Amino acid sequence: MAKTIQAIRGMNDILPEQTPYWQYVEETFRQLMQAYGYNEIRMPIVENTALFKRSIGEVTDIVEKEMYTFDDRNGDSLTLRPEGTACCVRAAMQHGLLHNQVQRLWYSGPMFRHERPQKGRYRQFHQFGVEAFGLAGPDIDAELILMSNRLWQKLGMSDEVTLEINSLGSSAARQQYKDVLVKYFEAHQSELDEDSQRRLHTNPLRILDSKNPAMQLLNENAPKLIDHLDDESKQDFEVLCSMLDAAGVSYKINPRLVRGLDYYSKTVFEWVTDKLGAQGTVCAGGRFDGLVEQLGGKATPAIGFALGLERLIELLEMPEEVQRQNSLDVYLVLAGEQALVKGIPLAEQWRNQLPQLKLQVNCGGGSIKSQMKKADKSGAAIAFILGDDEIEKNVLAVKFLREKKEQDLIELNNVAEYLREYS
Ligand code: ATP
Ligand code: MG
């Protein structure tokens, strides 16, 4: 036998047993976006490689080592999107959505990064993304945070996540801070790990973002960006904090929160959990006031966040009705030639009468016994048994599969009524 072909490592199939959970989260998110007046945008999964190099930054984990980049048949360098913000900005610019107007957008879909697969870290993973353009904050910053906060509430997981915020300041302030930071790390050069050595003169801020425990103490004692903010950023950050206080959202100011991507400025935030080990960030976002201009557009203030669905779903305790979503109400058993012909149009009629009904018709024949086995396996609450005898008498038999209850006999033209009462 030929060797079977397997999925790519780190790219998961989401099986029918799991999809109700995904649908539940997706639907909850979609409704939330609607409630705040955000509109969905859908972008292609593949973009020109230059888009990510120019936006995310050359000296970032993503661009340095995680992108799925390939030449297409024309020799153009393309990349499977590792994140959505750059794509969203590209699309919004290309279609003139940013001309002197505010845009509140959201998207969802797969992202691709060549990382070492482990729990909560995959090579194809899924994000919800939200981006607001044309607003300089901090009111919109608060809106995004409140919106994510409401999502946790709706999903019943507020206890699982905590909010961390920081400000990265203006790019000028950050430049000055970088000099201070480089001086500090240069004075401790021997304590830097290999990654940090490399980043010292390319992207020193990223050293603060290091996940290496050996770097922790050094990072904790480093000069803090928040002490080097420009006046405007400082004031905006204070207003944001007071807005969150007024809304009753608790947060921790984390001065080492710098985010892994180059394009962030001013407000940054993360929702983190301690329940997923090292993969603790569920939702991450921030301002990217320079990105539109950096990609060739007119300077446009912007803020967004991205939320990892795999991590979110891992954390969720699913409501029972979601767990039951795949199970049927009725399984229709057809015994005899007449029944076989009449069964399908009858089922259609019931579906017309009861649009919510989850009904499956036995296909592929089989004895009553084997059909009843299938009915049981289907998870249906009841089985309808339609044989030629029953058809002649214009009735069908109802068998209860999940409760101890006598079999029923009902009139064929009474079925909808019966089911309405039963449910
Ligand atoms: P991390 O620090 O965990 O590597 P990141 O800073 O690279 O995350 P972002 O680029 O900010 O992550 O992406 C936003 C969110 O997307 C993350 O908070 C996380 O929930 C999710 N995410 C990122 N990378 C992966 C991955 N490889 N597998 C699953 N989820 C991911
Ligand atoms: Mg990462």
For residue 376, name the pLDDT band (cuts at 50, 70, 90): very high
Q: Which atom of ligand 1 is nearest to the CA of 270?
A: 18
pLDDT at 203 over 90: no
For residue 214, name the pLDDT band (cuts at 50, 70, 90): confident
Q: Nearest ligand, CA of residue 279? A: 1
Judge if the beta carbon of residue 311 lies within 6 A of ligand 1.
yes
CA distances 347 to 6, 350, 409, Å, are 39, 5, 17
Contact (Cβ atoms closer than 8 angstroms) between residue 323 and residue 20: yes
- Return the residue whose CA atom lies nearest to atom 11 of ligand 1: 284
pLDDT confidence of residue 50: 95
Helices H / strands E in the chain, number of each: 17, 16
Average pLDDT over residues 283-303: 94
Q: How far is CA 21 from the centre of its chain?
A: 12
Q: Which atom of ligand 1 is nearest to the CA of 283?
A: 18
pLDDT at 291 over 90: yes
Q: What share of the chain has pLDDT > 90, as a percent?
A: 75
CA dihedral 235, 237, 242, 246 (to 10 degrees): 140
Contact (Cβ atoms closer than 8 angstroms) between residue 351 and residue 359: yes
| C-alpha Rg value of the chain to the nearest Å | 28
DSSP symbols for 106-165: EEEEEEE-----BTTB-SEEEEEEEEEES--SSHHHHHHHHHHHHHHHHTT-GGG-EEEE
Q: Tens digits of per-residue pLDDT, 247-265?
A: 999 999 998 888 766 778 8
Q: Tens digits of per-residue pLDDT, 147-198?
A: 999 999 999 999 999 999 999 998 888 888 989 999 999 999 888 988 888 8
Judge if the beta carbon of residue 125 lies within 6 A of ligand 1.
yes
> Which architecture characterizes domain 19-169+229-315 according to CATH?
2-Layer Sandwich (3.30)
- Termini Cα distance of the chain: 49
Average pLDDT over residues 265-291: 93
Q: Tens digits of per-residue pLDDT, 299-350?
A: 999 999 999 999 999 999 888 888 888 889 999 999 999 999 999 999 999 9
Provide φ and ψ at 190, rounded to 5°. -70, -20
pLDDT confidence of residue 151: 98
Alpha helical stretches, state H, 363-412: 368-377, 388-393
pLDDT confidence of residue 149: 98
User: 167 C-alpha to center of ligand 2: Å?
Assistant: 20
Q: Nearest ligand, CA of residue 114? A: 1
Locus of tokens 């946790």: 152
Judge if the beta carbon of residue 127 lies within 6 A of ligand 1.
yes
Q: Tens digits of per-residue pLDDT, 21-62?
A: 999 999 999 999 999 999 999 999 999 999 999 988 877 888
pLDDT at 92 over 80: yes
Judge if the beta carbon of residue 312 lies within 6 A of ligand 1.
no
Give 69's strand partners. Answer: 79
Judge if the beta carbon of residue 279 lies within 6 A of ligand 1.
yes
Judge if the beta carbon of residue 306 lies within 6 A of ligand 1.
yes
* Residues in Cβ contact with 172 at an 8 Å cutoff, skipping those fewer than 6 apart: 230
User: 62 C-alpha to center of ligand 2: Å?
Assistant: 7
pLDDT at 280 over 70: yes
pLDDT confidence of residue 385: 96
* Residues in Cβ contact with 152 at an 8 Å cutoff, skipping those fewer than 6 apart: 158, 160, 161, 271
pLDDT confidence of residue 56: 87
Locus of tokens 């001013």: 266
Q: Nearest ligand, CA of residue 83? A: 1
pLDDT confidence of residue 238: 96
What is the residue-averaged pLDDT of the chain? Answer: 93
Question: Domain 328-422 maps to which CATH number in 2.102.10.10, 3.40.50.300, 3.40.50.800, 3.30.420.40?
Answer: 3.40.50.800
pLDDT confidence of residue 360: 96
Q: What share of the chain has pLDDT > 70, as a percent?
A: 99
Average pLDDT over residues 269-276: 94
Q: Which atom of ligand 1 is nearest to the CA of 83?
A: 10
Is the peptide bond between 44 and the residue preceding it cis, with omega within 30 degrees of 0? no
> The tokens of 271 are what?
């929702």
Judge if the beta carbon of residue 143 lies within 6 A of ligand 1.
no
- Per-residue b or e along 168-203, where b marks 16 or more CB atoms closer than 10 Å to that residue's CB: bbbeebbeebbeebeeebeeeeeebeebbeebbeeb
Q: Nearest ligand, CA of residue 261? A: 1
> The tokens of 216 are what?
């922790």
pLDDT confidence of residue 278: 83
Judge if the beta carbon of residue 104 lies within 6 A of ligand 1.
no
- Domain ranges across the chain: 19-169+229-315, 328-422
Could you tell me the maximum CA-CA distance found in the chain, to the nearest angstrom? Answer: 94
pLDDT confidence of residue 260: 64
